[in-house]
A = this chain, B = another copy of it.
């Protein structure tokens, strides 16, 4: 079974974390969904952490997890911190395959999506 883990930075502001969880629910409602389990996790300041989120995916039956970095910039968080958090999980769960996709800001679809927003 494949799972999708949407990883956000995490905020001291609960409502920002709730926005991310609502986004995960909206992604889960997309048509032709190839993932049976979709969750949000946070690099810091909110729960679950990335390793805890991956454990939840595994407990739900996932043998493959795709991690999507919900970040705009390719900074240290995307380049180093998220892979390090993922490695904490894979070191103890080598049976679960985890791949990390491009971050949001690098999506080729972003310019077109911005045009949809600004056209109103």
Interface residues of chain A, those whose CB is within 8 Å of chain B, are 4, 6, 8, 11, 13, 15-16, 19, 23, 26-27, 29-30, 33-35, 66, 68, 70, 72-75, 101-102, 104-105, 107, 109-120
Contacts of A6 in B (CB 8 A): 114
> How distant is A48 from chain B, measured CB to nearest CB, in Å?
18
Give Cα A13 to B113, complex, Å: 25
> How distant is A4 from chain B, measured CB to nearest CB, in Å?
6
In the complex, 21 of the A-B residue pairs with CB atoms within 8 angstroms, ordered by the A residue number, are A11-B75, A13-B73, A13-B75, A15-B74, A19-B74, A19-B105, A23-B105, A26-B110, A26-B111, A27-B115, A34-B119, A66-B118, A68-B114, A72-B72, A101-B118, A102-B117, A104-B114, A104-B117, A109-B116, A110-B113, A113-B113
Give Cα A75 to B11, complex, Å: 10
Contacts of A4 in B (CB 8 A): 118
> How distant is A34 from chain B, measured CB to nearest CB, in Å?
7
